[in-house]
Amino acid sequence: MIRPASGRRRSISIAAAVLIGLFASVISFGQVDPNPNSPVPVLLSQEDSTRALADYAEERRGGRRQPFAETAFPLNAKINLYVTNIELMEGEGANAFRVYLEDSQKRQYRVPVVDLQPSEDQKGVYRVTVYLRDELGFWEQPAADGDVLVRLTWRGLSSNRVRLGLGKTGGDIKDDPGSQPMPLSRAASFMTGAEPPTSEYVGYRWSGDRMRFLQQATFGANRSLDDRIRRIGLRTYLAEQFEAPYPSLANPYPNVPLKHIDSNNTLGCGSFPDGTAERRICFRDHYNQYLLQNWFFKEAFYGEPQLRHRVSWALGQIWVVSGVDTQQSSWMIAYHKVLSQHAFGNYRDLMRDMTLNPAMGNYLDMVRSTRNNPNENYPREILQLFGVGLFMLNPDGTVMLDNNGEPIPTYSQTTVDNFTKVMTGWTFCNVGCPNSAPSIVNYKDPMILNQNNHDITAKTLLAYPNAVNQNIAAGLNGNTELELALDNIFYHPNVGPFVSKLLIQHLVTSDPTPAYVGRVAAVFNNNGFGVRGDLKATVKAILLDPEARGDVKTDPNFGKLREPVQLVTNVLKAFDVKSANLTQQSDGVVNALTNPLGQNVFYSPTVFNYYPPDYTIPGTALIGPEFGIMTTGTAIGRLNFANTMVYNRINGGTENIPLGTSLDLTEMEALAAADPTGNLLLDELNKRLLHYTMSPQMRATILPAVTAVSAATPRARAQAAIYLVATSSQFQVQR
């Protein structure tokens, strides 16, 4: 895992402050979740104070004793905290929980949770064992001695916060407003009595959860989608999505012929005179991702198969091919077809077809790798980024450690060298394939093997327990070797947790608990019918998991910053995106909205995607990949995007923007006109954008600003309200 340079905690830039503010939405710790199937955990305290009920874990070995609040605990101590009001699924344990400390300087640390056991002394109470050390490595020096505030999170829900002495008690830290003792004597009263949820629980009776689901499974919620799910439920909607034709019939993939790799060749755009519209359009449509970008956004706005579109986009940020090196739109379209074809298929099939895709072959050099001139780019990346990762993983995605507490490498340079030999000899199918043509490089059909350029020596591949095809004999055909090598990767135990965590990060939350990863990885490893790598089952498990579902998530670290594409589509879809004159659909020419935010669609800056999956927000201990492209400039760009679309539009009528894009604010304007108090307007925005989670503090701040706009100008009032909600931290972070 790549860590930021040392000194990351010593100063926080304006950009970092903006980032922290986005995650610092007001949280009322311990507030009751309106969904009765998701009880909120309660940390127990002393009878007459908010000091944690805690004891040294080791002291319990000699027999039972009542827990009590120690005077203080030293750093690195192993202690027990006590929690109630939780209902566990079968097999759910310590890795479903996280414990955070906050010191008097507002620094937060996550401490390892190492055990969870039911209390021998009180029914419904669990003993949570933790080490008082920072598991994310940010505790560069001990926090100042004194009290810290402790909270526990579970399935995206946060407990109350209790005091704990570190080194000694006392200090400047204050309890949260409204905090009160939660003593053991009241433990029974906290229990909800609800039936424990299972992985079958989907909660589609709860309107807030429907909207949350749509933000995870589509490119944005709107009223028609919400109404449909309210009628049929999440499971039926998923079943429909898994079978829906893709792309939408009204929005097929652009049909772009292959061109000569020299754009100025007569088989490229050289047949058109310089400076003419024909020449400009030829370059735009063939040697740029313009058509594909516009198609992508139109499918996001209006397409029926939303889930396949969303999962294909996620897979494209794992199996990265970039327009930076992919010259023609036709090449990228062929690549995207591989992603969408296998989005609900089997990961092993995706591995094969992506390995042989010409755009990938060009981007990571496999098409130029021969036995006399081998290239390790693709072999290295299929291991590191697409398959098994750098270090051995436990089934729940946590890093496996050796006897010295060090991560265990998944492979060595020698392993990469051997995979490199396997992947030599492939080239473009320029003769005899459906899309072959004279003087044109064929980027549409899969690459083919030239056995004469293939290394036929013996190879030794990934080693792991019961390894599949670890050793490949000499003299085999390259196609046979490739299948053996891909199986060697596919059956590695890392693949399930590695891929599952990446998909969870893209769809639901940036830093899922190991329990969540483990449940999904188990489905990846076996879909219930003995099939490994079933992406349909994996995606379903991700979206229906109890950690994903529920009306409200009160853990301030749960969720994900809306990446630029998601931010733009979520806002535009919420307000019936249309053409500039509101008479028809948008032309989809909106990439200019996401590019300034750090996401130029189909132009990832590196093979590592727009942002690394383990990116940690500077000055915090929060894992937030999308924050990797959040800077002062892109933070301001988010405000500019909202201003552009709420107060203005993208005008049409030009060569590159034929129809333009705007929001239809008719309904919002009517609500503003109907209610001078502004409450109806905020209620609707709370539903559309925040799935009913707008905090009282946020409402109290926004409402006066909205009503300050004259009721005689309802459109201006509606615009002010939409702008303020869409740019708020509570919306910017998808929870």
Q: What is the pLDDT of residues 479-528, one digit of tens each?
A: 999 999 999 999 999 999 999 999 999 999 999 999 999 999 999 999 99
Give the pLDDT band (50/70/90) at residue 122: confident
Burial of 244 (0-12, 13-18, 19+ CB in 10 A): middle
| One-letter identity of residue 102 | E
Q: What's the pLDDT at 466?
A: 96
More confident residue, 38 or 24: 38
Share of the chain above pLDDT 70, in %: 90
Q: Dig out the tokens for 211 from the structure.
A: 């909207």
Q: Dig out the tokens for 622 from the structure.
A: 């929060």
The contacts of residue 654 (CB under 8 Å, 6+ apart) are none
Digit-coded pLDDT (tens) for 361-371 = 999 999 999 99
Give the pLDDT band (50/70/90) at residue 664: very high
Exposure on the CB side of residue 114, measured as CA atoms within 13 A: 16
In Å, what is the CA distance from 227 to each residue of 66, 207, 303, 717, 727?
52, 10, 17, 27, 26
Mean pLDDT of the chain: 90
Q: Is pLDDT of 33 > 80?
A: no
What are the backbone dihedrals phi and psi of residue 666, each rounded to the nearest 5 degrees, phi first? Answer: -55, -50
Q: Is pLDDT of 141 > 90?
A: no
- Which ranges constitute the DSSP H helices of 648-713? 666-674, 679-690, 696-707
Digit-coded pLDDT (tens) for 105-120 = 888 889 999 999 999 8
Q: What's the pLDDT at 58?
A: 79
Residue matched to tokens 């439920």: 233
For residues 452 and 339, give the distance between their C-alpha atoms in angstroms, rounded to a whole number: 30
Exposure on the CB side of residue 702, measured as CA atoms within 13 A: 27
3-state secondary structure of 113: strand
More confident residue, 253 or 64: 253
Digit-coded pLDDT (tens) for 564-579 = 999 999 999 999 999 9
| One-letter identity of residue 372 | N
In Å, how far from its chain's centre is CA 154? 18
Q: Is pLDDT of 331 > 90?
A: yes
Q: Is pLDDT of 61 > 90?
A: no
Q: Is pLDDT of 721 > 60?
A: yes
Exposure on the CB side of residue 399, measured as CA atoms within 13 A: 15
Q: What's the pLDDT at 67?
A: 56
> How far apart, in Å, do the first and last CA atoms of the chain sit?
25
Exposure on the CB side of residue 575, measured as CA atoms within 13 A: 28
Digit-coded pLDDT (tens) for 672-718 = 999 999 999 999 999 999 999 999 999 999 999 999 999 999 999 99
Q: Bridge-partner residues for 56, per DSSP?
A: 79
Digit-coded pLDDT (tens) for 628-654 = 999 999 999 999 999 999 999 999 999
* 3-state percent breakdown (helix, strand, coil) of the chain, nearest 5: 40, 10, 50
3-state secondary structure of 62: helix
DSSP state of 441: -
Contact criterion met (CB below 8 Å) for 597 and 629: yes
Helix H or strand E segment including 720? helix 714-726
Give the pLDDT band (50/70/90) at residue 38: low
Q: Is pLDDT of 203 > 90?
A: no
Q: Is pLDDT of 446 > 60?
A: yes
Closest to 665 measured CA to CA, from 714, 593, 734: 714
E-strand ranges in 315-465 read 426-427, 448-449, 459-460
More confident residue, 204 or 363: 363
Contact criterion met (CB below 8 Å) for 620 and 109: no
Digit-coded pLDDT (tens) for 380-405 = 999 999 999 999 999 999 999 999 99
Closest to 381 measured CA to CA, from 318, 443, 339, 426: 318
Q: Dig out the tokens for 331 from the structure.
A: 């090449």
Q: Is pLDDT of 461 > 50?
A: yes
Among 67-76, 197-206, 459-468, name the most confident range. Answer: 459-468
What are the backbone dihedrals phi and psi of residue 377, each rounded to the nearest 5 degrees, phi first? Answer: -55, -55
Q: Is pLDDT of 20 > 50?
A: no
Give the pLDDT band (50/70/90) at residue 140: low
In Å, what is the CA distance from 58 to each residue of 129, 135, 700?
10, 20, 48
Q: Is pLDDT of 7 > 80?
A: no
| β-pair type (426-427, 162-166) | unpaired
Q: Which region among 25-34, 511-520, 589-598 has the lowest average model confidence (pLDDT)?
A: 25-34
Q: What's the pLDDT at 196?
A: 41
Q: Is pLDDT of 308 > 70?
A: yes
For residues 479 and 422, give the distance between their C-alpha atoms in angstroms, rounded to a whole number: 9
Q: Is pLDDT of 195 > 60?
A: no
For residues 474 and 617, give the distance between their C-alpha atoms in angstroms, rounded to a whole number: 48
For residues 156 and 96, give the distance between their C-alpha atoms in angstroms, rounded to a whole number: 10
Give the pLDDT band (50/70/90) at residue 9: very low
Helix H or strand E segment including 166? strand 162-166
3-state secondary structure of 542: helix
Mean pLDDT score, 77-104: 94
For residues 591 and 293, give the distance between their C-alpha atoms in angstroms, rounded to a whole number: 7
E-strand ranges in 546-596 read 560-561
For residues 126 and 130, give the distance between their C-alpha atoms in angstroms, rounded to a whole number: 13
For residues 388 and 410, give the distance between their C-alpha atoms in angstroms, rounded to a whole number: 7
The contacts of residue 110 (CB under 8 Å, 6+ apart) are 98, 99, 100, 101, 134, 135, 136, 621
Report DSSP letters for 94-154, one per residue.
GGGEEEEEE-TT--EEEE-EEEEEE-SSSTTEEEEEEESS-TTS--SSPPPSEEEEEEEEE
Q: What's the pLDDT at 730?
A: 96
Burial of 39 (0-12, 13-18, 19+ CB in 10 A): buried
For residues 599 and 634, give the distance between their C-alpha atoms in angstroms, rounded to a whole number: 10
What are the backbone dihedrals phi and psi of residue 148, each rounded to the nearest 5 degrees, phi first? Answer: -125, 160
For residues 364 and 385, give the distance between their C-alpha atoms in angstroms, rounded to a whole number: 12
Contact criterion met (CB below 8 Å) for 342 and 350: yes
Domains of the chain, start order:
39-190 (2.60.40.10), 666-734 (no CATH)
What are the backbone dihedrals phi and psi of residue 241, each rounded to the nearest 5 degrees, phi first? Answer: -65, -35
Q: What's the pLDDT at 469?
A: 98
| One-letter identity of residue 655 | E
More confident residue, 206 or 456: 456
Q: Is pLDDT of 1 > 50?
A: no
Q: Dig out the tokens for 248 from the structure.
A: 């939408």
Closest to 203 measured CA to CA, from 546, 540, 537, 516: 546
